[in-house]
């Protein structure tokens, strides 16, 4: 094999590695070729090309749910180990990691290591700092107790229900469309409506008369057919119907909806599907 | 500057971790929602992705890709792992359904960064089979065997389409980077 063919093969393997997975034999081959042509190509540029293609498919950005953002913010604040918190507060000792360094690195070691350092004298300002910290802890405990643990006391601001939010959307959005649900099967006693605002990219829908489903076996999934997306509908979220027979849910598309032309509900496996075969359509609302 | 967030995390800057979340939260959430039908699963995936991004921040190399592209790379791997572990069982009939033709109108795609824009441009120029294979493999996360079965194409042909398509995208990105560097230095 001459060098040009070998280089060609190296590119192929790098592309395969970035898109799919290499088997053991291919990995060995790649390793050998990389050794032979160390500066010819690198896997990171292939990974970057894959990512760029992946990114180019994102049609719109969505804001993540507040609850998830809060959870991640907590994880972010706890990401670095606690001992980093004491950076710069250690007394100057022989072991001082930061002395003479304008950009000190986070301290390494454990909380015990930190505790083992000789205790400094505690000034009034430090006492004051600890006092504030203690007060903040107490406030946090009280907050958790009153907002999350104490079960009988209602929260100060009750979240509006989906039905209330639907009414609010109807009243507030100028471009809101409201369509009634119909069943593609004759004789089905289905009613309800969907409201959707393109400018707000949100909507709500009510169903009456959909059969109760067993969430362990199947779920209902809402789809939005967008004129600009061809025949591939956009996932609007999954939901279940209990014995009450009436349900109102938010319409939660994963991507930007530009020109909705039809909404539909299918029956799918628990958790929903990425792509529906549309074998069992139970409700349709044309825009 | 957004481009420095990961380097700051790697060097132990606590504020950068939150900044990373603020900067890339929408992107990662949108990618997760695009690939996972179940909202709860998307939420779990987003948490996993961010922890992975923070942990591997030191591996980010700004000479090889933008920070956005790096975050998307981690997100893709995690999301595909999830898809493979969970429920998806690709079905031959479903493949044609999920193929969305690359957008004719550039405005229809929010171009998240320069590389994504270049990739979209090159994708539009590729042969339809190459587009299909790249979309099924990169965007939908199907294996080459699954694609070969679904499109009734020999395995070797699937690989060839994927490789050639990707190599073209990579070269276009590198070429544009080189031109941008020349413009900056001129």
A225, two tokens: 């057919």
Lookup: tokens for A35: 């050794």
- Range with top average pLDDT, A77-81, A119-123, A181-185: A181-185
Radius of gyration of chain A (CA): 29
Phi, psi of A3 (to 5 degrees): -60, -35
Band (A158; pLDDT cuts 50, 70, 90): low
Mean pLDDT over residues A14-18, rounded? 91
> What is the rounded CA–CA span in Å between residue B152 and residue B146?
10
Per-residue pLDDT, B107? 39
Q: Is the pLDDT of residue A66 over 50?
A: yes
Report percent pLDDT > 90 for chain A: 14
Average of per-residue pLDDT values in chain A: 74
Mutation to test the A interface, candidates B170, B171, B174, most A Cβ within 10 Å: B170
Nearest in space to B87 (alpha carbons), one of A20, A277, A269, A280: A269
Beta-sheet pairing, A281-286 with A246-251: unpaired
Name which of A51, A251, A257, A265 to mutate to probe chain B: the one with the most chain B Cβ atoms within 10 A of its Cβ: A51
**Mean pLDDT lowest among A126-135, B15-24, B129-138:** A126-135
Q: What is the pLDDT of residue A137?
A: 64
Which residues of chain B does A237 touch, with a Cβ-Cβ cutoff of 8 Å?
A: 39
Interface check for A256 against chain B (CB to CB < 8 A): the answer is yes
Is the per-residue pLDDT at B113 higher than 80? Answer: no
Report the residue count for chain A. Answer: 287
Predicted TM-score of the model (pTM): 0.53
**Residue B104 to residue B106: CA distance in whole angstroms:** 6
> Does position A194 have pLDDT exceeding 90, yes or no?
yes
- For A202-248, write each residue's pLDDT tens digit: 889 999 888 888 888 888 888 888 887 767 788 788 888 887 778 88
CA–CA dist A219, A212 (Å, integer): 10
Grade residue A43 by pLDDT with cuts at 50, 70 and 90: confident
The proportion of chain B whose per-residue pLDDT surpasses 90, expressed as a percent, equals 24
Q: Which residues of A76-87 are buried (b: 16+ CB within 10 A; e: fewer)?
A: beebbeebeeeb
Query: Can you tell me the distance from the alpha carbon of A277 to that of B94, in angstroms, rounded to the nearest whole number?
Result: 7
Tens of pLDDT, residue by residue over A127-155, are 566 666 777 767 777 666 655 555 444 44
A 56-95 residues with CB below 8 A of B?
Answer: 56-65, 68-69, 71-73, 75-77, 79-80, 84
Tell me how far the alpha carbon of residue B73 is from its chain's centroid.
5
Beta strand A219-226 pairing with A281-286: unpaired
Contact A265, A223 (CB under 8 A): yes
Burial group, residue A242, by CB count within 10 angstroms (0-12, 13-18, 19+): exposed
**In chain A, what residues touch B99 (CB-CB under 8 Å)?**
232
Query: Is there a contact between A284 and A193 (Cβ–Cβ < 8 Å)?
Result: no
Greatest mean pLDDT among A64-73, A141-150, A252-261, A275-284: A64-73
- Show residues of chain A in contact with B88, CB under 8 Å: 273-274
Contact B12 A229 (CB under 8 A): no
Sign of the torsion angle spanned by Cα atoms A64, A65, A69, A75: negative
Averaged pLDDT, A92-120: 34
Give the count of beta carbons closer than 10 Å to the beta carbon of residue A240: 15
Residue with tokens 């042909």: B157
* Among A141-150, A151-160, B145-154, the range of highest mean pLDDT: B145-154
ipTM of this model?
A: 0.80
Q: What is the DSSP letter of B133?
A: H
pLDDT at A106: 33
Looking at residue B158, what is its pLDDT?
94
């Amino acid at each position: 094999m001459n060098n040009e063919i070998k280089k060609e093969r190296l590119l192929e393997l790098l592309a395969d590695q970035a898109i799919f997975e290499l088997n053991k034999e291919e990995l060995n081959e790649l390793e050998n070729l990389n050794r032979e042509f160390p500066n010819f190509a690198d896997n990171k540029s292939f990974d970057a090309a894959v990512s760029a293609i992946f990114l180019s498919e994102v049609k719109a950005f969505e804001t993540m749910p507040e609850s998830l953002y809060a959870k991640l913010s907590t994880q972010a604040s706890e990401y670095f180990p606690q001992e980093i918190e004491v950076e710069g507060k250690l007394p100057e000792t022989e072991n001082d990691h930061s002395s003479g360094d304008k950009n000190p690195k986070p301290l390494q070691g454990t909380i015990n290591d930190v505790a083992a350092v000789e205790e400094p004298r505690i000034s009034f300002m430090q006492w004051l700092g600890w006092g504030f910290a203690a007060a903040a802890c107490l406030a946090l405990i009280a907050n958790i107790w009153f907002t999350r643990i104490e079960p009988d006391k209602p929260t100060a601001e009750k979240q509006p229900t989906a039905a209330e939010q639907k009414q609010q959307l109807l009243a507030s959005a100028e471009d809101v469309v409201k369509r009634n649900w119909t069943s593609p099967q004759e004789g089905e006693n289905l009613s309800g409506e969907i409201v959707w605002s393109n400018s707000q990219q949100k909507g709500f829908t009510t169903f009456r008369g959909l059969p109760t489903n067993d969430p362990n076996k199947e779920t209902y999934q809402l789809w939005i057919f967008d004129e600009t997306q061809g025949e591939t509908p956009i996932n609007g979220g999954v939901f279940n119907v209990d014995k009450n027979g009436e349900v109102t849910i938010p319409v939660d598309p994963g991507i930007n909806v530009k020109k909705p032309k039809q909404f539909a509900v299918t029956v799918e496996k628990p958790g929903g599907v990425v792509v529906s075969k549309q074998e069992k359509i139970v409700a349709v609302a044309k825009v | 500057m957004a481009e420095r967030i990961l380097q700051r995390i790697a060097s132990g800057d606590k504020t950068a971790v939150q900044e990373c979340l603020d900067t890339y939260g929408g992107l990662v959430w949108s990618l997760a929602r695009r690939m996972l039908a179940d909202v709860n699963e998307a939420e779990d995936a987003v948490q996993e992705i961010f922890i992975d991004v923070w942990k591997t921040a030191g591996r980010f190399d700004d000479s090889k890709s933008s920070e956005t592209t790096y975050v998307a790379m981690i997100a893709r791997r995690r999301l595909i792992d999830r898809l493979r572990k969970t429920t998806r069982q690709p079905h031959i009939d479903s493949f044609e359904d999920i193929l969305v033709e690359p957008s004719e109108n550039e405005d229809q795609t929010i171009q998240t960064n320069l590389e994504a824009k270049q990739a979209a441009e090159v994708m539009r120029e590729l042969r339809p089979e190459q587009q299909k294979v790249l979309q099924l493999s990169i965007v939908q996360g199907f294996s080459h065997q699954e694609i070969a079965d679904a499109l009734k194409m020999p395995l070797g042909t699937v690989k060839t389409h994927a490789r050639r398509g990707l190599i073209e995208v990579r070269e276009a990105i590198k070429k544009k980077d080189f031109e941008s560097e020349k413009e900056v230095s001129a």
